[in-house]
Amino acid sequence: MNSKVKVAMRYAFYLALIGGALSVIALIVVVLQSGYAHPSPICTVLVYVSYWPMFLMGWHPENLFVSFKVLPINLFGWILVGLLLGWLRRPG
């Protein structure tokens, strides 16, 4: 395996970890703030940052936390971006 592919796989792994952690943290924050009338700005930003792949696919924010297929699809988006960033990275 050449070094460009190794770098792309490493970036994909790191972004999958980051995306997974952000998604779980966003889920916890949403559940903690579910009793309030409006979400806090931090909660809103966290959800939009962590679930951007799902928004690109056209999912509505109200339906993000009702299905178990959301997290794998979301992680797939993070992995694709990691592969792309690792592939485009110039060796220094």
- Domain map (residue ranges) of the chain: 3-88
Q: What is the pTM of this model?
A: 0.82
> Which residues, including other chains, have CB under 8 Å from residue 73's CB and lie 6 or more apart?
53, 54, 57
Q: For residue 1, what pLDDT is reported? A: 67
Q: For residue 11, what pLDDT is reported? A: 92
Determine the Cα angle at 7 with ends 75 and 48, to 5°: 30
Q: Contact 56/81 with Cβ under 8 angstroms?
A: no
pLDDT by position in tens, the chain (length 92): 688 888 889 999 999 999 999 988 988 888 888 888 888 898 889 988 988 888 888 887 777 777 677 888 889 999 999 999 998 886 65
Type of residue numbered 9: M
State CA 17 to chain mean position distance. Answer: 9
